[in-house]
Amino acid sequence: MTSARKTGHPGPRGPLFLRWGALAIIIVALASAWRPLAAWMAPGTLSVTEVRGVWTLDPEAMRRRWGGDFGITDQDLEHLQQRLAGLRIDLSGPEAVVTVAGTTVTHAWHSTPDQGKAPAVTVSWKQPVPVLGTGTSFTRIDGHLAIASEGALLLVRRAP
Amino acid sequence: MLYCPSNTFVNYRYNSATNRASDPFYPIASRLRAGYALCWGVRWGQPLPSATRMMSGSTAIITDVCDVRAIMLYQHRKGANTVYGDGHAAWVGWSKISTAYGGIPWSGISQVNNAAMQAYFTALAQ
């Protein structure tokens, strides 16, 4: 009766320290990956990397997402397009630049750290912007990027 | 500060990434928001109603967030919880408020909405 354990030789599964080492590596990897994973899964939270770029209104996505009995109507969309004519939010540089109806406002943008969650990306304007008010947060709704302000919730897409 | 647990939108959840109740350094531009709207809070630049009227059991003074329809999609969809001037609260069904709801704009808070807000709170009155 000679088994690997009795003779002291490594068994078919390898030496004990290798097995425990592999387990420790897996535990450390899971622990370090948990926070970004949890942040990615959390609704309404975004990283700065995700919002970097130039954004514009996405009326078709809004119609698909919110069209219907309680949701957005063609009249609402038309009204929004009038008030947000040429909406362009440029977050490609260190300063946010928003242009609405020919008016351009610039202000620093930043992420707000949150307890154990991904940061919320917020932009505050030097002067109120039509519909967007004095500040805007980037958020995610059903996988689509949205901007939320005081009283505004709009889906956006990357500008062509 | 009051929060409606039925409101799932990030701006109106308790201590969410964009509505952080516990952070004293929270950016001033991203204001702290309650989950309910006050009748005098959503009618910009309008004088307060008289004290007698505000304490009336038929005057709706607080209800679920109603500033714009975009936000209202993320709370109750069949009516609204409402507090009246005498302190009692009641559930107001959709049939009573649907017309006034249709007059509320999709996005954008401004004085332009005052008439729609007035109509909505009038519809909530008992």
Per-residue pLDDT, B28: 45
The residue of B30, B33, B97 whose CB has the most chain A CBs within 10 angstroms, and thus the best one to mutate to test that interface, is: B30
Tell me which of A30-34, A51-55, A99-103 is least confident. A30-34
Cβ contact, residue pair A120, B67, below 8 Å:
no
Per-residue pLDDT, B9: 79
Is any Cβ of chain A less than 8 angstroms from the Cβ of B112?
A: no
Question: How sure is the predictor about A139, in pLDDT bands with cuts at 50, 70 and 90?
Answer: confident
- Averaged pLDDT, B25-36: 65
Cβ contact, residue pair B11, A79, below 8 Å:
no
Angle of helix B114-124 relative to helix B94-103, nearest 10 degrees, comes to: 170
Chain B residues whose CB is inside 8 A of the A111 CB are none
CA neighbor of A123 nearest in space, from B24, B25, B110, B27: B27
DSSP 8-state assignment for residue B11: G
Tell me which of A90-94, A128-132, B18-22, B45-49 is least confident. B18-22
Per-residue pLDDT, A19: 80
Rounded CA-CA distance A155/A91 in Å is 16
Handedness of CA A79, A84, A85, A87 (dihedral sign): negative
pLDDT in tens, B43-96: 777 777 788 888 888 889 899 988 889 888 888 889 999 999 999 999 999 999
Per-residue pLDDT, A16: 75
Reported as half-sphere exposure (CB side, CA atoms, 13 A), residue A22 has a value of 6
The pLDDT of residue A125 is above 90:
no
Per-residue pLDDT, B29: 45
Task: Say how far residue B59 (Cα) sits from the centre of its chain.
Answer: 14
The answer to whether the pTM exceeds 0.90 is no
Tell me which of A50-64, A72-86, B43-57 is least confident. B43-57
The residue of A123, A124, A137, A138 whose CB has the most chain B CBs within 10 angstroms, and thus the best one to mutate to test that interface, is: A137
Per-residue pLDDT, B13: 79
Handedness of CA A154, A124, B75, B5 (dihedral sign): positive
- Kindly report the nearest CA distance between residue B16 and chain A, in angstroms: 8
Per-residue pLDDT, A37: 55
Rounded CA-CA distance B83/B61 in Å is 6
- Complex ipTM value: 0.74
- Averaged pLDDT, A115-124: 65
Beta partners for residue A108, in sequence order = A95
Per-residue pLDDT, A117: 53
Tell me which of A23-37, A74-88, B60-74, B78-92 is least confident. A23-37
Neighbours of A99 (CB within 10 A): 17
The pLDDT of residue A66 is above 80:
yes
Rounded CA-CA distance B72/A13 in Å is 59
The residue of B18, B22, B112 whose CB has the most chain A CBs within 10 angstroms, and thus the best one to mutate to test that interface, is: B18
CA neighbor of B46 nearest in space, from B112, B92, B103: B112
Cβ contact, residue pair A71, B73, below 8 Å:
yes
In sequence order, which ranges of B25-103 are alpha helices (DSSP H)?
51-54, 69-72, 94-103
Rounded CA-CA distance A105/A111 in Å is 19
Reported as half-sphere exposure (CB side, CA atoms, 13 A), residue B95 has a value of 0
B-facing residues of A in 82-121 (CB < 8 A) are 83, 110, 112, 114-115, 117-120
User: Who contacts A49 (Cβ-Cβ below 8 Å, separation ≥6)?
Assistant: none
Tell me which of A49-53, A118-122, B4-8, B114-118 is least confident. A118-122
Rounded CA-CA distance B68/B83 in Å is 19
Percent of residues, chain A, with pLDDT higher than 70: 77
CA neighbor of A131 nearest in space, from A97, A82, A90, A71: A82
Most confident of A36-45, A56-65, A66-75, A91-100: A56-65
Q: Which two structure tokens, joined as six digits, stand for B65? A: 């967030």
- Averaged pLDDT, B95-99: 94
Cβ contact, residue pair B18, A120, below 8 Å:
yes
Rounded CA-CA distance A80/B69 in Å is 13
